[in-house]
Structure 1
Amino acid sequence: MSPRHFVLAACIAITFAAVPAARAASTGELLGPGVISTGLQETSAALSPDGQTLYFMRSDFAEADDTIMVSRRSGGFWSMPQVATFSGRWHDSEPTLAPNGNRLYFVSNRPVRAGAAPLMAEMSGHPFPGTNLWYVERLARGWSAPVHVEGALNDGAMIYNPSVAANGDIYFSAHRADSGKAYQIYVAHPQGDGYAAPVRQELGDIGVNRMDPAVDPAGRFLLYAGNEGDALGSADIYIVFRQPDGRWSKPEHLGGDVNSRMLENAPSLGPAFGELYVSSGRRDEMHFPKSRDDADSLRRRLQSPLNGSRNLWRFDISDVLRAHDIAR
């Protein structure tokens, strides 16, 4: 497990006081129970523009073995996920599609140069699999071979959860020289054949951990995971809006059912207006005494999607967006 995952799992400061929040979102829907969302860890949903193909990450509880999966929807049902053609050998995670669906970005510890050792990083003397940003291009026959993104964007080997705007801007979370002790959110603007040096986004106190950005394709708003002091759990989902001067607004804690007293992270936007996907560790409540288990009933419950593993959930935040004069 990388220091990033320790940060996500740690109990930061759980606050139960009433706090201002963005307007309530609709009740969540567990995505593909038993097929997409299982007793393993599923995070980082990436939907194709037509909403019929889903890429996501599946891993063990420690997230030591991450793989990118793909499933297709037909007749309202998701197919049994398969390993994506470009994944399955390395520590691959956090897929995201460009708005037009023709390029898929992900992070990986695969060697930057053929024949080299897998990428490693280190924080506080603790080595762990590093991550650089890669992408694959859509071809007539499927996806291309993975391409490494060159330049300062990949400095430090600790880049996570890319998200791409329609103008080519890439948002991501990372631990870099100007991140302080926590992770922060950055943007890299296209420049020539590559990208300019990443710029840290000013979202408040740099001592606060902020991760997993999901940018509106038009750049009007940005969602991320963190704890601005009013999170219900160790990390919740927040939203900021672009102001006339180009700066981001004060972070708003998403209300309704998006956040819980469990960990929420890895937000992503679906193709429909207000469609939000979130990874959540929410689980069935336990009440004691329970009906006495036998071996089979215990196994079924412990292996079910709502066993405390992270799953993919779908929400509707269209009311939140309309309240900020975003209609489409």
Structure 2
Amino acid sequence: MKPITLLMVLMSASLMSTENQAKPALDSLTGPYLGQKKPGGVPQIFAPGAVSSKHRDYNAFFSPDMTEFYFTRRDNDTGNWTLMSYVQQNNQWHEQVVGPRVGRPFLAPDGKTMHLGKYYMERTACGWGSLQVLGSMFDRNDWGIMRLTSSSKGTYILDDYKSGDIIRISEVVNGQRQPPVALGPEINTGKYNAHPFIAPDDSYIIWDGQREEGYGDSDLYISFRKKDGSWGKAINLGPQVNTSGREASASVSPDGKYLFFNRNVASTEGDIYWVDAQVIEQLRPDQK
């Protein structure tokens, strides 16, 4: 494990010291999914006025037990990015400032590891531990990892903005972590590909990218894994999800019911949306 800089230490200290600085619960934020009315097949803004605010709110995900909700926020006044959370206590959701944003955070399916690009933190009895580097195969100066997500099998999917905006995969074979390799042209096609999410069962990946046949600035795409382990051709998630604006940073709730993503159009700074995950199942190829 590589030593981390003083800046990283300070960030870790801030993460641990601020996690428990909870704000009072809002009466309306009670019950599952922060008490929000569940969407159908048309994407809706998630928790307007609480999660989706006047600021730039991005990168949403739940903990595996669905009692913690995380997202990042860019303050319009200061320009600073913060990792935020809502924690459910006695059926009410309480807002917390976790600390400065590092990378594009994502919680592993085991609920014990927070990925932050090439860094990670482990959950402790007192909150989140110190910031650590994943390892030398991920800590390369010629790579630029914004988002890394993992499956229950330990598969990592990560982007790389320094190497032509591509997506890489790192699998575990016979208990050994394999070096990340670039995915094929089924995925890495177009102007750029970034911010990938991998399903807990390794059955698909979702990411955002720009292609000539897209609907706008960037669209969300999905690739399903075939029986032979290869990845299928990228499928655009369609006009219900993608618009002339920018869609990005998707994730699926741990219960598999809802797709969360960001949408940025000319009239907004960027909000978090959610939609019934049937938009995914309708695209899944029949592999019988």
TM class by shorter chain equals: 0.7 to 0.9
Aligned amino acid, residue 106 of structure 1:
L
Partner residue, 2:109:
99
Partner residue, 1:9:
none
Partner residue, 2:144:
158
Structure 1 Cα separation of the partners of residues 283 and 241 of structure 2: 17
Tell me if structure 2 keeps the 8 A contact 1:173–1:184.
Answer: yes
Alignment partner for residue 159 of structure 2, among 133, 152, 173?
173
Tell me if structure 1 keeps the 8 A contact 2:209–2:220.
Answer: yes
Report how far residue 193 of structure 1 moved: 9.1
Partner residue, 2:230:
247
Structure 1 Cα separation of the partners of residues 174 and 80 of structure 2: 36
1:32 aligns with 2:47: yes
Q: Give RMSD over aligned pairs.
A: 2.7
Report how far residue 52 of structure 1 moved: 2.2
Structure 2 Cα separation of the partners of residues 62 and 253 of structure 1: 35
Q: How many residues align?
A: 245
Partner residue, 2:56:
41
Which SS does the other structure have where 2:139 is aligned? helix
Highest RCO, 1 vs 2 (Cα 8 Å, sep ≥ 6): 1
Tell me if structure 2 keeps the 8 A contact 1:203–1:251.
Answer: no
Structure 2 Cα separation of the partners of residues 171 and 208 of structure 1: 19
Alignment of 1:30-109 (within 5 A): 30-60=45-75, 65-73=80-88, 78-80=93-95, 82-84=96-98, 87-88=99-100, 92-107=102-117
Distance 1:214 1:282, change over 3 A: same
TM-score normalised over the length of structure 1: 0.67
Please say which structure displays the higher CA radius of gyration: 1
Report how far residue 175 of structure 1 moved: 3.0
Distance 1:36 1:78, change over 3 A: farther
Structure 1 Cα separation of the partners of residues 60 and 115 of structure 2: 12
Tell me if structure 2 keeps the 8 A contact 1:150–1:194.
Answer: no
Structure 1 Cα separation of the partners of residues 91 and 238 of structure 2: 28
Tell me if structure 2 keeps the 8 A contact 1:172–1:213.
Answer: yes
Which SS does the other structure have where 1:320 is aligned? helix
Partner residue, 2:269:
309
1:214 aligns with 2:197: yes
TM-score normalised over the length of structure 2: 0.76
Distance 1:314 1:78, change over 3 A: farther
Alignment of 1:180-195 (within 5 A): 182-190=164-172, 195=177
Aligned amino acid, residue 197 of structure 1:
P
Which SS does the other structure have where 2:147 is aligned? strand
Distance 1:61 1:166, change over 3 A: same
1:134 aligns with 2:119: yes
Report how far residue 273 of structure 1 moved: 2.0
Structure 2 Cα separation of the partners of residues 229 and 63 of structure 1: 35
Tell me if structure 1 keeps the 8 A contact 2:237–2:279.
Answer: no
Tell me if structure 1 keeps the 8 A contact 2:215–2:239.
Answer: no
Aligned amino acid, residue 59 of structure 1:
R
Aligned amino acid, residue 232 of structure 1:
Y
Q: Structure 1, unaligned stretches of length 5 or more?
A: 1-24, 108-132, 284-306
Distance 1:61 1:263, change over 3 A: farther
Structure 2 Cα separation of the partners of residues 100 and 216 of structure 1: 13
Report how far residue 97 of structure 1 moved: 0.8
Q: Which 4+ runs in 1 deviate beyond 6 A?
A: 191-194
